Chains A and B, each alone.
Chain A
Amino acid sequence: MKLGILISEGPYTHAASDTAYQFVKAALAKGHEVIRVFFYHDGVNNGTRLTVPPQDDRNIVQRWSELAAQHKLDMVVCIAAAQRRGLMDAAEAKRNGKDADNIAPGFRISGLGQLIEAAIQADRLVVFGD
């Protein structure tokens, strides 16, 4: 079955990103296809590579990056939500005259159309948020 995932809560807030991660892992283990993970609103904060959680805590961002690399996940960050919250890739940093970028490996910045497309193409869209 094709699954689309929407995450609208940041890391280390409540549990949306953790639940979504465990759900995606379980779905992949069962042979389902996760066609896209879309990060919206504060959910875009899951995509900054500059987080440094304590060593005895889970590294939420890195965990997503690793899962994406393992399973070739398409992880998309909403551009408008990202710009508001200071999340950018090299191209966006240059376009906006910023001195650095911070997007984590495996994430890409794109538009809300990617969420609509995932909702249309997936058999189920599962929403995790606040």
Chain B
Amino acid sequence: MLHTVNKSPFEHGCLGECLKFARKGSAVLLIEDGVYGAAKGTAVSKQVEEALKSVSIYALRPDVEARGMQHRVMDGIHLVDYGGFVDLVAEHDAVQSWL
């Protein structure tokens, strides 16, 4: 399953909830303010690093760049464009948006 998260983890608990529920082998795509969850050295980066052991995590590049975050993305998180977003949707059997 593909999970999408569009809220900052610093204003909303949906990234934490998502990582709690995401099963091994699933994918998480951070979009919009959700990309703040991809930053190195934050209050949630340990939790995200831990999650990377069992799920693939992606961040939407245009949203990362819009927030000037491109040099702060933690290792192991893949950046994708909108075409990559479409591919992730196609590759997984269902999409869960954590709003």
Taking Cβ atoms with an 8 Å cutoff, the residues of B that contact A are 4, 6, 31-33, 60, 62-63, 81-83, 85-87, 89-90, 94-95, 97, 99
A126-B97, A129-B97 given; A3·B82 CB < 8 A: no
**What would 18 more interface pairs be, CB under 8 Å, given A19-B32, A27-B86, A32-B90?**
A1-B90, A3-B89, A8-B99, A14-B6, A15-B32, A19-B6, A22-B62, A25-B82, A26-B86, A27-B89, A29-B83, A30-B87, A126-B4, A126-B95, A127-B97, A128-B97, A129-B99, A130-B99
Specify which chain B residues have a CB less than 8 angstroms from the CB of A1 in the assembled complex. Answer: 90
State the Cβ distance, A6 to closest chain B Cβ, in Å.
9
Task: Please name the residue on chain B nearest to A123 by beta carbon.
Answer: B90
Q: Say yes or no: is A124 at the interface (Cβ < 8 Å to chain B).
A: yes
Q: Is the interface of A mostly helix, strand, loop or mixed?
A: mixed
